[in-house]
Chain A
């Protein structure tokens, strides 16, 4: 399936909003979406969500022969799978541009920057080494896949434990988890990718872009930063002006973000090890209970409209206006309120109805939920 086309008016609307420093989902220009990390039952399984973007990471290991050129180093394979589950235009074959970009950027950030100590994975030089496989699956694509995937990768690798081995005269013994405690991987530094979307010839930079913002942006800039203020990977696609200035601006923000994300990962890891120790239920149970693991909540769009347009047809019910603190005008179109206790719709022909709904998390919107028509 092809990627759905963005209409010109949608693009223009978004660009106009960004030039006024407003984002469609109400965030500030430098606000990130909520980041949550959940670990599964097995070591090395983790699910990360940034707003609605969800990525599942799983680390596994096996014993293999090392590469001929590096006989005493372990192997690390990173694979990002874009399945049609994440977005309808993803194909299972690995040929698409976004999958290559994701894969290569993560490889650069994690493999090429030597984030994992591969020499400690060697068992018998030139014969047996541990081969670590990191598989990331994109569960839902709502923008900023690279950030989410990098957090999932780092969290999964930090969480993973490999079995303990011993080389005896009889051969290699691999101990089960119950017999000998598994060993975590040696992580030398913690690279995190932070993405920025650039609009208006470099004048407006937006952090953690949503899917629409990504597609409309003139350039997307990703920085891989670690806790020691080092850049592990840089990637700019698209075209923007005054490159070095942008790099400087973004680098500082990226560093702050990387530090806070790494702190969150460490915190969640500590909590998880506590839970494991205390034998309570752990894993994805929490997400399933809340019903959030598969639900796709439509973000509510709240736009303060400054100019009052003449109301064409009927009298508006003043009772709703008092509850909507921000939205003023109802010309003819659909408006949705932020505190959704009242849903107001207004069409030119029908008599205005006010529906009172109890506090719901998702409201069925009309098809053009992304567009607010103001006539």
Chain B
């Protein structure tokens, strides 16, 4: 797409957002009956489903049990219809293994695994529609699913991406938050940061795409960090709304207000 500018002269991005605007986040918890916790999250046009099973006994791979904490197993998968071209994704290839591994590490730092020794928590993620920031959307959805499952977390795990629009007309390059598919593929670096916002803790940091000059790393990292904090506000509101709804439903059905 020649001539497509990431940031127009009016300061608007390709989808009409400002550089520090997140996409609209819609989410719903408790969408499935079988898993212990589930969530559906939309971040703009990126749609992700998350399901959590656990904590439960480790059956097949006894060797993977830890004596003092739970074993976390994450599986990330993109549906074949999620991209503009139907793409058959092999399950065991390196890229998806790397995503699984990153998710494992993120949630091992966030879940209070010491409360469930010798158990296993499974997190399954499916991307239904991929429009950029797929990994971040998955992390956010998984957080909601874990909360729905009642698994204790140290804090919300919020993930956000940020990129750098090339400089126009002498102005310094502008960092932009929450990249969509067009911004991801047109080039430019993409920094993906997952944090525990209230604890001011970073659990995952990844740079993809093209190279990023060292002098620009600060504004881009700050942008991702504040983006994650903003996402936390949205998720928190959603969780509280969901809990209030559940309590209300329980009262109506006469089961009493005790949890």
Contacts and interface: CB of A to CB of B under 8 A. Distances in A.
Interface of A: 2, 95, 97, 100-101, 103-104, 108, 112-114, 189, 219, 221, 225-226, 228-244, 246-248, 251-252, 255
B202 A232 contact: no
Contacts of A235: 205-207
A244 B223 CA distance: 10
Interface in B79-108: 94-95, 97-98, 101-102, 104-105
B193 A243 contact: yes
B109 A229 contact: no
B225 A229 contact: no
Contact of B217 (A100, A103, A240, A251): A251
Label chain A's interface by main secondary structure: mixed
Interface of B: 63, 94-95, 97-98, 101-102, 104-105, 109-110, 189, 191, 193, 195-196, 199-215, 217-218, 221-222, 225
Given A100-B94, A230-B212, 18 more contacts: A100-B98, A104-B95, A104-B98, A112-B208, A189-B211, A231-B207, A234-B207, A235-B205, A237-B105, A241-B199, A243-B193, A244-B218, A244-B222, A247-B205, A247-B217, A247-B218, A248-B218, A251-B214
17 contacts: A2-B63, A104-B94, A219-B202, A225-B214, A229-B213, A229-B215, A231-B217, A232-B207, A234-B206, A234-B207, A236-B202, A237-B204, A238-B105, A242-B200, A244-B221, A247-B218, A251-B217
B214 A255 contact: yes
Closest 10 CB pairs between A and B?
A243-B202, A236-B205, A239-B109, A234-B207, A230-B211, A239-B203, A244-B221, A104-B98, A229-B214, A231-B212
A240 B221 contact: no
Nearest to A231: B212
B98 A230 contact: no
B221 A247 contact: yes
Contacts of A239: 109-110, 196, 201-203
Nearest to B216: A231
Contacts of A225: 214
Contacts of B195: 243
Contacts of B217: 231, 247-248, 251
Given A97-B101, A243-B193, A243-B221, A233 B207 contact: yes
A101 B101 contact: yes
A118 to B, nearest CB: 15
Nearest to A113: B211
A112 B98 CA distance: 15
A241 B201 contact: yes
Most A-side CB within 10 Å, residue of B104, B195, B199, B205: B205
A189 to B, nearest CB: 8
A114 to B, nearest CB: 8
Contacts of B221: 243-244, 247
Contact of B213 (A114, A231, A237, A247): A231
A234 B191 contact: yes
A241 B209 CA distance: 25
